[in-house]
Structure 1
Amino acid sequence: MIASALVFIALTGFRYGIGQDYFYTYVPYFDQVRSGFSPHGMEVGYYALNWIVSRFSNDPTPVFLVCSLIFFFCTYSTILRESSCVPMSVFLLFGMSYIFIFMNAMRQMTAVSILFFSLRYIEDRKVVPFLLCVVVASLFHASSLIFCIMYWLLRIRVTLAICCLVPLLVLLLRGPISEFMIWVIGQTSYAGYIGSIFDTGETGPINALMNVIILLFSAVVPWMTKKGYSSRYNLFLICQLLCTAIALITGAIPLAQRVRWLFVLPSVLLIPDALNCIDNKGIRFLTELSIVLLYIIYIYITIGLWNGNGVVPYQSVFFRVS
C-alpha cells in the first residue's frame, strides 16, 4: 500500500507539463503570486500554498507535490478504513480515471479528496468535524460547500426503485431541469460561463452510460442477494445516484461535470462493497475480472489513445525535455 501510494505521489507530484491546466492555470498563477500580485479567482487556501512555496522557491513543483500528498493521504486513508477490498479500490482510483483527472483539475480534486475523507464523520454523525473538512476543502475549491448536503441526505433510504426512477426522470425532464439551472446560474457570479467555451453542449454519452451501469449494478446486486443496503452502503449509493443524475445533464448545463466530481470518489468503495455481496466465489471472481479488464480498456482508449486530461506523453521535472 505504501509503495503504491509513493508511486502515485512521485508520478503526480513531480510531473512537468502534465495536465491541461498545468501551463494554462497553475504555473501562471504561481508566477503571479511569486511576483507579488494577489490575483482574484483562487481560494485563500490555494493562494496561501502558492505564497508559502514562492517564498522559498522559484519552481512551482512543491505546490504540485503538496497537493499530491494531500490527495493520496486522504484517498488512501479512507480506502484503508472503509474499503471491503483495498486492492480493488486502489485499482479503481486508476481505472476510473480519478488519478488522471487529479493531474488536470488538481485544485478541485485536492478538495474532493478532503470531502472523501469526511465520509467517516457522516457515518459517525459528527457534524462539527464533517463541516470542518468541508470548510478546509472549500479553501481549495469553493464548490466543495455543496457537499454539505450529504450529511442530511443520509436520512434518505435509497431503494432499487429510486435508483431506477431517478435517472429515468432526469432524462425525461432534462430540458426543464437544464433551463431552471441555467436561470439559477445566470443570477450568480458564474453567469459568464453560459455561452462560453465551457458551454459546449457535449453530452458525454459514454460517461453517462458508465454512471448508470455502476448505479444499477450497485443497486441490483444487494437486492438479488437479499443483503440489503446498510447505512454505510446507502451513503455511497446516494453519492453514485447524484453522480448519475448530474452525468445525464452534463453538457446541457455549463461545468456540470465539475459538480459531479464532488461525489465521484465514493464509487471506489461502492463497487467493492457490491462485489462483496456476491457469495459465489466463482461468479464474484469473474465479475471482478470483467470490471478490471473493462476499466483497463477504458483507460487505454481515453488516456492512451485520446489523451484525456492531457496527461501523455508523461514528463518528470527530473527528465523533462526543454
Structure 2
Amino acid sequence: MQPLSKVISEGGCIETCPHKEVPMFSVILYYVTFAITIFITWIYQQQRCNYAKGPASSSHIQNSSLKSLFYEGTYIWLLLIVFIPVIILGFRYGIGTDYFNYHDYYDRARSLGLASIMQTEPLFLLVSYLGSLIAQDYYGMLLIVAFLTMYLMVLGLNRFRDDFSLPMAMLVYLALLYGPSFNIIRQTLAVSVIMLAFRYLEKRRFYAYAITVLVATLFHTSAIICLPLYFINVPKAAALSRTKKLIIVAVILALPFMYLMTTTILSHISYFAGYFKVYDFFNYTPRWGALLVQVPVLIPVLFLRKQLAERHEIYDFYIFLFLLEFVAIYYGFYMIWAFRLMYYFFIAQIILIPATLEVLKEKSMRLGLQIYYSYYYIGYFFFTYYMSHSDAIFPYMSIFNQ
C-alpha cells in the first residue's frame, strides 16, 4: 500500500500496478459511493443530532451509552451510512494488491481448528474462520471484514455527532482510508478499533483503553504503537503535565539515535520478526515532497490551535497525533514499515479537519475553508489511487463481472 506521501517519496506508482488506461466508470463508481455515503451522513446528522441546531460555543463530545444508542435508532442510521461502501468492498474481485494473498489467508483459516488459531494476530484469523462458517466463501469473509471496518469507524466517529460536521469527517476518512481498506484489510480494521479506543483515552479510562488497544493488536501487531499515546493526553490540570510533555518531546527527538537499536532488538522477538523479514528497513531515499504534501491541511489546524484548545482540550492531543504523522513519514524514508504507523495517525485528520470549521465565527471563512478541504481530499484520492495506481483499486471489478 502506498498513500500519496509514499507515492511522492518514491516518485511513481507501485511496481505491481503499472500505468494503464482506467475506465472512467471506476472513477465515477468510487465518487458516487462517496457522495451517497456523505449525503446519508448529512441526513442522519440533520435529523437525529443536536448539531443541526447550530454548532455549540464549546465542545460537547457525546459519550452516550451503547444501550441509549440502540433505543435512539442510531445503529440503524450507521448501518445505512456504511451500506454502499461495504458492498463495494465486499463484492470486489482481484482488487487490492494483497487480494489473492488474503485469499490464501482465508483458505488457511478454514483448514485450521479453533485451537490452532491462537497465534500472531489471532483475531483476524478468527474472523476469517467464522466467516468461512457463516458465509461459506471468501467473498463473504471480505464482506464481514468490510462491515466491521466501516461500522466500527463510524461508531467511533458518532461521539462527535453534536460537535462538528460528520459529513466532512466522512469525506476525510474515505479519502484517506477507503483505498487501503481494499488492501491492508487487517490494519484498517485495527485502525477502526483504535478509533473506538480513543473514546476511552478522551475519558482517561486507562484499563478500558489498554484492553481495546490490545484487541486492535490482535488484528494487526502495529496497533501496539497506540498504547503509549495514552500518556500524551495529559489534562492541563495535571501538576506534571508540562514535565511529561517535555519528556515525550525529548524521547521523540532521540528516536533517530534509538531506532537502529530498537529494530535490532525487535527483529529477534518472534511476535515482530515476520515484519522485519518482509520489509526493507533501509530505504535511504528521503524525498521531502512526501512531507510537504501534508502541509496544506496542517497549516489551518496549527493556525486555529488556540481556538481548538478552547473548544475542547482533547484537540491538543489530536494535533500532537497529527504531528506524529510527519514523524512516521520521516521514518518511512529509512524503514518502509514505518509508513504503516501513519494510518493510525490519520485519525487526527478525520477529527481535526471538521473541528477547525466549527471554531471559525465568520460563515464566509468557514465556507471557504470547507471548500478548500473538500478539494484537497477529493484531489488526494484521485491522485493517490487513480493517477498513481496505489493499492491497485482501479479499475474496479466485482464478482459479478469477473
* Gap runs ≥5 in structure 1: none
Confirm or deny: 8 A CA contact 1:247 1:260 kept in the other structure.
Answer: yes
Normalised to the residue count of structure 1, the TM-score between the two structures is 0.84
1:37-96: per-residue Cα shift (whole Å, max 9, x none)? 85897411111122223345552122211221111112112222125111100111122x
**Structure 1 pair 195–26 and aligned structure 2 pair: CA distance change class (3 A):** closer
Q: CA deviation at 1:105?
A: 0.8
- Quote the Cα distance in structure 2 between the aligned partners of 1:122 and 1:153: 10
Matched, 1:48 2:121: no
Q: 1:77 maps to what in 2?
A: 155
Q: 2:292 maps to what in 1?
A: 209
Matched, 1:21 2:104: no
- Quote the Cα distance in structure 1 between the aligned partners of 2:309 and 2:122: 45
Q: 2:319 maps to what in 1?
A: 237
Q: CA deviation at 1:290?
A: 1.4
Q: 1:249 maps to what in 2?
A: 331
- Quote the Cα distance in structure 2 between the aligned partners of 1:48 and 1:105: 17
Q: Which amino acid aligns with 1:33?
A: A
**Structure 1 pair 276–152 and aligned structure 2 pair: CA distance change class (3 A):** same
Output aligned runs, 1:137-286, within 5 Å.
Answer: 137-155=216-234, 177-178=255-256, 180-189=258-267, 190=272, 198-199=280-281, 200-203=283-286, 205-223=288-306, 228=310, 230-286=312-368
Confirm or deny: 8 A CA contact 1:221 1:274 kept in the other structure.
Answer: yes
- Quote the Cα distance in structure 1 between the aligned partners of 2:344 and 2:226: 7
2:88 to 11, 22, 44: 11
1:91 to 171, 179, 204: 171
1:83-117: per-residue Cα shift (whole Å, max 9, x none)? 5111100111122x211012111101101100111
**Structure 1 pair 124–179 and aligned structure 2 pair: CA distance change class (3 A):** closer
- Quote the Cα distance in structure 1 between the aligned partners of 2:285 and 2:183: 19
Q: Which amino acid aligns with 1:241?
A: L
Query: What SS class does the counterpart of residue 127 from structure 2 fall into?
Result: helix
Query: What SS class does the counterpart of residue 279 from structure 1 fall into?
Result: coil
Query: What SS class does the counterpart of residue 32 from structure 1 fall into?
Result: helix
Q: 1:107 maps to what in 2?
A: 186
**Structure 1 pair 247–43 and aligned structure 2 pair: CA distance change class (3 A):** same
- Quote the Cα distance in structure 2 between the aligned partners of 1:183 and 1:40: 29
Query: What SS class does the counterpart of residue 266 from structure 1 fall into?
Result: helix
Q: Which amino acid aligns with 1:92?
A: V
- Quote the Cα distance in structure 1 between the aligned partners of 2:354 and 2:262: 37
- Quote the Cα distance in structure 2 between the aligned partners of 1:227 and 1:55: 48
Confirm or deny: 8 A CA contact 1:246 1:260 kept in the other structure.
Answer: yes
Q: Which amino acid aligns with 2:205?
A: K
- Quote the Cα distance in structure 2 between the aligned partners of 1:12 and 1:226: 35
Q: Which amino acid aligns with 1:209?
A: L
Q: 1:133 maps to what in 2?
A: 212
Normalised to the residue count of structure 2, the TM-score between the two structures is 0.68
Q: CA deviation at 1:227?
A: 6.3
Q: Which has the higher contact order (CA 8 A, sep 6+)?
A: 2
- Quote the Cα distance in structure 2 between the aligned partners of 1:135 and 1:118: 10
Matched, 1:65 2:147: no
- Quote the Cα distance in structure 1 between the aligned partners of 2:401 and 2:225: 38
* Gap runs ≥5 in structure 2: 1-40, 42-76
Confirm or deny: 8 A CA contact 2:152 2:196 kept in the other structure.
Answer: yes
Q: CA deviation at 1:268?
A: 0.8
**Structure 1 pair 33–134 and aligned structure 2 pair: CA distance change class (3 A):** same
- Aligned residue pair count: 306
- Quote the Cα distance in structure 2 between the aligned partners of 1:28 and 1:202: 33
RMSD of Structure 2 on Structure 1 (CA): 2.9
Q: CA deviation at 1:35?
A: 3.3
- Quote the Cα distance in structure 2 between the aligned partners of 1:41 and 1:257: 24
- Quote the Cα distance in structure 2 between the aligned partners of 1:101 and 1:135: 22
- Quote the Cα distance in structure 1 between the aligned partners of 2:386 and 2:170: 20
Q: CA deviation at 1:320?
A: 3.4
